[in-house]
Amino acid sequence: MFYKLVLERLREKVRRKRPEVWKSKSWFLHHDNAPAHSALSIREFLVSKNIPVIPHPPCLPDLAPCDFFLFPRLKSTLKGHRFEDVNETIHNAIQEIKAITMEAIQRCFKK
């Protein structure tokens, strides 16, 4: 299952890149109620790996960080640009995502 692989990679990245957060168990996963996120196998995986999940209320997609922070930011920065192909579009989107500072991400959750 693709999403489980994503979660495994995320878990490993947190462990390696943020060891202080990993050891203190002060990180949380926030995802929406999409079927891939709420499947029994995913819920069992999260429990078995002690991955804390922030509950997402049903029918409130505007609470997802991608909806109120990431997508509007990408749309704003990429608007008006013309790209030669999909790969160039992806490359530019990834560059914009990498340019987002940790402080900007933290501010979006404080609002």
Give pLDDT tens digits for 41-63: 999 999 999 888 887 766 665 66
Q: From residue 73, how far is each of 46, 99, 103 by CA, in Å?
A: 29, 11, 15
Same domain for 51 and 3: yes
Separation between Cα atoms, residue 5 and residue 86, nearest integer Å:
24
Looking at the structure of the chain, the number of domains it has is 2
% the chain with pLDDT above 90: 47
Model confidence, pTM: 0.53
Same domain for 41 and 3: yes
Same domain for 52 and 77: no
Same domain for 85 and 50: no
Same domain for 80 and 37: no
Same domain for 49 and 16: yes
pLDDT band of 67, cuts 50, 70, 90: confident
Same domain for 74 and 42: no
104 phi-psi bin (left φ>0, alpha ψ -120 to 50, beta other):
alpha
| Domain around 93 | 64-111
pLDDT digits (tens, 9 = 90+) for 3-25: 999 999 999 999 999 899 888 88
Same domain for 68 and 52: no
